[in-house]
Amino acid sequence: MEVVTTRGAVRGLSRDGIAAFLGIPYAAAPSGASRFAAPAEHEPWRDVRDATEFGPTAPQAPRLLGNMDLRAYFGEGWHRGEDYLTVNVWTPDPAATGLPVMVFVHGGGFVAGSGRAELYDGSAFARDGVVLVTVNYRLGVAGFLDVPGAPANRGLLDVVAALRWVRDNVAGFGGDPGTVTVFGQSAGATIVGGLLAAPEATGLFRRAIVQSGSGLGAFSSEQAALVTRAAAELLGVEASADAFAGISDERLVETASKLAGIDLRTATHTDPLVGLSPFSLVLDTQPADAPVAEVDLLIGTNTEEGNLYLVPFGKYDSSTSADVDAVAAKAHPDPLRLVRTYREQRPAATGGEIRSAVLGDALFGAGTWALTEAHARHSRAFAYEFAWRSPVLGATHTVELPFVFARTGLPALRGPNRLLGEDEAPSSLVTRVHDSWVRFARTGDPGWPRYTENRRTTMRFDLDSGTVDDPRGAERQAWERPG
C-alpha cells in the first residue's frame, strides 16, 4: 500500500482493515548545529520509502516514576537514529476523501516520550473514520532550552512543521486538511496551548484538545535563563548555540537529567511546574493571556492529577501539613489562603489528599481554568473533568489516555504497579470518552453544552457521567490572578 507525499512515496502496512504508515519524516534530521535551529525541510527521496516500522525517537533518558511501570505511556526510551522528526499515520482508507484528522502531541515532561509509545496506537480512531497522526518532536536541551543564538521553543516549532506536513499531505491518506484537530496531553497539551497563541500555527488546525496541560505553564525569559546558565555550567561551555552545537546528544541528555529541582521562582513569577521539570515553553505572554485563536477547544483535567507524583514514591500516605504548605508556597502568592480554601472544601481529607489536590492544580488545574475562561469569552470551549479512579493511582495524571485511545485492554497498562491496576476498566466509559473525542473532531461539539462564564458547564466522566456547573468553583477562584 503506497501513498505519494510531497517528499516522495511511502509504503505502509494494512492490518484488520486499518492502514498504517510509520516513521514518515516531516522535517530534516536534527543533528549537529541543526539541533539548535528551526526545523528544515527533509530532502526528497527517489525510491519508495518503507513506512512499515516505527522510526527512531528523540534523544532521552529513561523516565521513571517511583515504583510505577509507565512504559506504555513513555515508550521504551531512546531508539537511536538522527531522522526522528517523524509522524505516524493510521487511516481507515488512504483512497477515502474528507475524513476528519486528529494530530496527537505526546507528553513526558518535555524530556521523554514519543509518538511510537504503545498507548498511542491509532487503530481505534481509524476504525471510527478518523485519520490519526502522532508526532515526534525535539525534547530536553535540544527542544526547549532557551539558548542565545537559537530560536526559542524548537520543540513547538517541530510540531508546527508537522502540522504543515499534515496540511500538505494528509489528503493522500484520506484526510481533510481543513478539518484538523490537534490534541495533546501533559507537556503535549501545554504545547497545544502554545500553538493556540503561536502566529505561525494560524490556519493549520480547526480544533484543539488540551488534556491536563496548562495555559500558564510557560517560563519567563528570566526563568529560562536560570536553566540555561545551569546547563552551561554543567557542560563547561558558554551559553550559546554555537557552543551547545558541539556537545553530543548523550551529554545533552545526561545534563538534562541533572537540571531537575532548580528553583525557578523570581521576584515576579512562581515556578509553573513547581520544580518537576526544568523545561517548558518560554514565552513572555502566557497562552491564557494571548489573543484567542478562532478554533473550537475541548479542555480539561483529571480529578486527582497530583497522585502520580506522590503515590509511586511513597509520599502520599506520609504527607504532612508542612508538605502541603511547601507545595502551596512554591505555587501561589498567598499560600495560606490557598491551603485554607482546599481544607474548607475537603474537611475530612488526609494530608495526602490535600497535597495532591494543591499540587495537581498548581501543575494543571489553574492553567486549565485560566485558558478555558479566556477562550470561552471569544470562541467555543467545552470543559471536562475525568473522575474515574484507577485502583492503583486514583483519577491521576495520564489515566484518561487509555480511554481516549480506547486502549484499556493493553497488557502493559494492567498490573499492580501499572496505570490501570488489575481490574477491568469500564467498557461503557471507554466508549463514552473515545466517542466524545471523535465527535468533537468531526463536528466541534463533544456532546454537552459549551462552557460559558455564566454556567461553566463541565462534563464529569465517571461510571455515572454527567454535566455539572463550575464543579470546583472555590478552588478555581482561589487561583484567579488580579486583574
Classify strands 2-5 and 8-11 as parallel, antiparallel or unpaired: antiparallel
Q: Please report how the helices 221-235 and 249-258 are oriented relative to each other, as an axis angle in degrees rounded to 10.
A: 120
Q: Which three cell numbers stand for residue 308?
A: 502520580
Q: How far apart are CA 318 and CA 321, in angstroms?
A: 10
Q: Is 332 a catalytic residue?
A: no
Q: What are phi and psi of 222, to 5 degrees?
A: -65, -45
Q: Please report how the helices 366-376 and 187-197 are oriented relative to each other, as an axis angle in degrees rounded to 10.
A: 30
Which entry of 42, 397, 465, 475 is annotated as an active-site residue? 397
Q: How far apart are CA 154 and CA 142, in angstroms?
A: 7
- H/E stretch holding 100 reads strand 99-105
Residues 6+ apart with CB under 8 A from 483: none
Per DSSP, the three-state class of 20 is strand
Q: Is 254 a catalytic residue?
A: no
pLDDT of residue 212: 98
Q: What is the mean pLDDT of residues 83-111?
A: 97
The percentage of the chain sitting over the pLDDT mark of 70, rounded to a whole number, equals: 100
Which entry of 305, 385, 400, 475 is annotated as an active-site residue? 305
Best CA proximity match to 215, nearest among 198, 183, 199, 191: 191
Best CA proximity match to 352, nearest among 342, 367, 344: 342
Q: How far apart are CA 311 and CA 356, in angstroms?
A: 9
356-382 burial code (b ≥16 CB/10 A, e <16): bbbbbbbbbbbbbbbbbbbbbeeebbb
Q: What is the mean pLDDT of the chain?
A: 96
pLDDT of residue 481: 86
pLDDT of residue 30: 97
Q: Which residues pair with 357 in a beta bridge?
A: none
What is the number of helices (H) and of strands (E) in the chain? 15, 14
What's the number of domains the chain is made of?
1
Whether 433 shows a pLDDT value over 90: the answer reads yes
Whether 399 shows a pLDDT value over 70: the answer reads yes
Residues 6+ apart with CB under 8 A from 147: 36, 228, 239, 240, 241, 244
- H/E stretch holding 165 reads helix 154-169
Domain with 59 in it: 2-479
Whether 483 shows a pLDDT value over 70: the answer reads no
pTM: 0.98
Q: Is 453 a catalytic residue?
A: no
Helices (H), 273-365: 321-331, 335-345, 351-360
Q: What is the mean pLDDT of residues 67-93?
A: 96
**In degrees to the nearest 10, what's the CA dihedral of 353, 359, 363, 368?**
50
Whether 380 shows a pLDDT value over 90: the answer reads yes
Confidence of residue 136 (pLDDT cuts 50, 70, 90): very high
Q: How far apart are CA 423 and CA 106, in angstroms?
A: 26
**In degrees to the nearest 10, what's the CA dihedral of 415, 420, 425, 427?**
-120
Q: What is the mean pLDDT of residues 58-72?
A: 93
Which entry of 114, 186, 390, 465 is annotated as an active-site residue? 186
403, 433 contact by CB (below 8 A): yes
DSSP string of 39-90, one letter each residue: --PPPP-SSPEE-SS-----------BTTB--HHHH-SS----S---EEEEE
With 0-12 CB in 10 A as exposed, 13-18 as middle and 19+ as buried, what is 317? Answer: exposed
| Residue that has been written with the C-alpha cell 555550567 in this structure | 233
Give the CATH number for residue 351. Answer: 3.40.50.1820
Kindly report, residue by residue over 211-269, the tens digit of the pLDDT: 999 999 999 999 999 999 999 999 999 999 999 999 999 999 999 999 988 889 888 88
Q: How far apart are CA 223 and CA 47, in angstroms?
A: 47
Kindly report, residue by residue over 173-187, the tens digit of the pLDDT: 999 999 999 999 999
Q: How far apart are CA 131 and CA 347, in angstroms?
A: 47
